Amino acid sequence: KSIKTMHGNFHFAKDKDEALKILKGITGTGKTIVKGKSITSEEIDMNENLEQWGNTVYETDLGEFIVQSLHSRPMHILAPAVNIPKEKVAELFSKIANRDLPPDPEKLTEFAREYLRDKFVNADIGISGANAITADTGSVFLFENEGNIRFATNAPDVHIVFSGIEKILPTLSDGFRLLEVVSRYAGYLAMTYVSIVSGPSKTGDIEKTIVYGAHGPREFHVILYDSGRSEVAKDPVLSPILICVRCGACMYECAVYPITTGYWGYKYMGGIGIPWTAYISGGFEKAAPMAFTCTLCGRCVSYCPMEIDTPEIVLRLRETLNEKGYIPPFIKSMVETVMRDGVPY
Ligand code: SF4
Ligand code: SF4
């Protein structure tokens, strides 16, 4: 209701098919689209679909731009290209630039800045996720350090926000509380940029007549995505996964993640990615090997600002996987060996 009051367009998608139908209805074909980092968009394979419909998509977060150009996948929720060495980035950017670029992070960042600048200005549509959407004002909070999200959501004529329903917070003040938590646990004193977008750009400067589309977008769309979240919310053991603020603190401290990076995951990775894979994006089969790789050590719990008890959730998921017959073969054979020989190998 508050999004509509602010002259935005509100859409609700219960699953991937609905989300893609809504998205296609807004974007159509033949558009240039700039995107800010959004893991929720990975759930619906947004880039691949937008391109299939005849659009051109540019990821504008530097890490995501590297991952997109390599046709790879993000390896960390905050640092998607954390696994790519600077020499590989130099090789990649040299091909795009058609000139030799040194493996120097400063020079490589400068190239990305130069390459993407006109894409922002000439894009028809900007797509972002949301760190929070506040119910009382219909405002979308966007936290970042690079400045690309601000550019991508401000320069084009149309801004589309694609967000899970779990990002809704009751009030504008709650959005600021979230900001403090996310920045501290992501390791920053403060985020460099905080954008709060409440509807399309507007002015009333000529005879107090309100005109939409002053300097920012004329059209503002929010697509709220469910895909299993409302079912998870009903379960007292599982529901804490919905308050994950994606700060990434648990991954830095995890016993398994530093060795496996994003390969320990599907769309969502790491320990918290296990229940997200099982219940939101991926399914039990994909989540099963992940669930049995977690050591249940509990280090993630002590570093989580939201005190999410990932091992407890993983244990519960293991029971469900057992009941439903999704025990991975390597676990089955290990159990059989222990029962027979008294040792796992
Ligand atoms: S309990 Fe699992 S997810 Fe948490 S730190 Fe240990 S191995 Fe990682
Ligand atoms: S589970 Fe906790 S520590 Fe990990 S990303 Fe979510 S909020 Fe941060």
Mean pLDDT, to the nearest integer, of 93-116? 96
Q: How far is the CA of 124 from the centre of ligand 2 (A)?
A: 34
CA pair distance 17, 15, nearest whole angstrom: 6
Q: What is the CATH number assigned to the segment(s) 2-225?
A: 3.40.50.10420
Residue 188 has pLDDT above 90, yes or no: no
- Band the pLDDT of 187: cuts 50, 70, 90: confident
Average pLDDT, the chain: 94
Q: Give the model confidence (pLDDT) of 73-89 as tens digits.
A: 888 887 888 889 999 99
Position 309 scores a pLDDT of 97
Percent of the chain with pLDDT over 90: 80
Say yes or no: domain 229-341 is CATH 1.10.1060.
yes
Question: pLDDT tens digits, residue range 2-33?
Answer: 999 999 999 999 999 999 999 999 999 999 99
The residue contributing the CA closest to ligand 1 atom 5 is: 254
- Residue intervals in the chain for CATH 3.40.50.10420: 2-225
Pocket probe mutation, ligand 1, options 259, 272, 296, 309, max atoms within 8 Å of Cβ:
296
DSSP at 265: B
Closest-CA residue, ligand 2 atom 7, reads 244
Q: Is 254 in the pocket of ligand 2 (CB under 6 A)?
A: no
Q: Is the pLDDT of residue 314 over 80?
A: yes
Q: Please state the ipTM of this predicted complex.
A: 0.98
* DSSP helix, strand, coil percent of the chain (3-state; round to 5): 45, 15, 40
CA of 204 to the centre of ligand 2 (A): 42
Domain with CATH 1.10.1060 in the chain: 229-341
